Amino acid sequence: MEGNGGMQEQMERPEMLTGGEQAIIQNTWTKVYQNKDAAGVAVLMRLFTSFPSSKQFFSQFRDTEDPEELKSSVQLKKHALRVMSALNTLVENVNDEEKTAAVLKVVAKSHAIKHSVEPRYFKVSGRVNSAKRIRKLLKKHKTVVGGLEIRQSRSTGR
């Protein structure tokens, strides 16, 4: 994208996942997505637990203190499904860098413009998405979801 003075907009390019790693993610995700309602709520609850200040951006339930009440919130469940749908699009297209970048750009722009989400929250999310981080998690956790065994797809063991 051309910017001022003809300089290209610079974006950090993440390390690409191997074909085997992509397959592991897609196969694991299939199991997670079968339970998208509960998984989506769990993702948002984890976000609010790990980063409590993020709840301020959700006017429908920002003042809800009781975790059980929050989990049963219709608004939370609706947003959780939108999150899971976006994640599903990313996983389905994990091998298509342009498609995943486009999806992330639309989501980021929407959150920044429509919802005034500060850029620092995107940086927190971005740290989770690097290939190195995913490999480390795959290596550390032998079972991720529902007892699924995750094996390394790289012979180097990284």
Q: How large is the average pLDDT for residues 91-104?
A: 87
CA-wise closest residue to 26 among 85, 82, 86, 89:
89
| Interval 7-34: pLDDT, tens | 334 455 556 778 888 888 888 888 889 9
> Do residues 25 and 152 touch, judged by C-beta distance below 8 A?
no
Backbone torsion region of residue 116, taken as left when φ is above 0, otherwise alpha when ψ lies between -120 and 50, otherwise beta? left
Rounded Cα gap, residues 73 and 152, in angstroms: 38
What pLDDT was estimated at residue 143? 37
pLDDT tens-digit readout, 45-66: 888 888 888 888 888 888 888 9
At residue 131 the predicted structure's pLDDT band, cuts being 50, 70 and 90, is low
Domains of the chain with bracketed CATH: 18-140 (1.10.490.10)
Kindly report the number of other CB atoms within 10 A of residue 17's CB atom: 19
pTM over 0.75: no
User: Average per-residue pLDDT in the chain?
Assistant: 74
Contact between 4 and 134 (Cβ < 8 Å): no
Token reading at 147: 């007892």
